[in-house]
Amino acid sequence: MYEIFSNAVGHSQTKLGIFSCGQFFPKNHCLNLSVADLGIGIRENVLQSVGLDLRADEAIAWATRDRNTTKRGPIPGGLGLKLLREFVELNRGRIQIVSDAGYWASFRGGIRTCELPDPFPGTVVSLQIDTSDKHSYVLSSEAPETDIF
């Protein structure tokens, strides 16, 4: 979830702020969280940073793929949204992103994208997490607990 806040702060160029809300539904075992900014949007950020002129929904899809980043300099990037997408798929949750005139969603193993008739002025990322999930998730590059010592 830190990735969503970090992206909003680091990429949006918003002058109007970042907004967040969430709600836990204990009976449904569901946590919903949304973060919105009124910045330049993903499409414009990709265009300005890496020169790719994509449709808004294509730019969102591009941002969720491994090693695609608009960050420059020594700080690595390009894993956050990909890892978040993978976690949500394993968790059987949902992630939805609206930015400019683009819509992208990942849910129960499926991806849906489309262009919206009217653009949103910024970016909204919404997560739905299944809190009944008892699995533990680690990166494949992390050592298992049994290999620590």
Q: Which CATH number characterizes residue 68's domain?
A: 3.30.565
**Which residues are within 8 A (CB) of 17 and not within 5 positions of it... i.e. 6 or more apart?**
37, 38
Q: How many domains does the chain have?
A: 1
Q: Are 106 and 95 in contact (CB under 8 A)?
A: yes
pLDDT tens digits for range 37-58:
999 999 999 999 889 999 999 9
Q: What does pTM read for this prediction?
A: 0.85
Sign of the alpha-carbon dihedral angle for 135, 139, 142, 147: positive
Domain that holds residue 102: 2-132
Q: Tell me which residue of 85, 52, 63 sits closest to 12, measured CA to CA.
A: 63
For residue 107, tell me if it sits in a domain: yes
For residue 139, tell me if it sits in a domain: no
Q: How far apart are CA 98 and CA 75, in angstroms?
A: 26
pLDDT tens digits for range 56-102:
999 999 998 877 877 665 555 555 788 888 888 889 999 999 999 99
For residue 111, tell me if it sits in a domain: yes
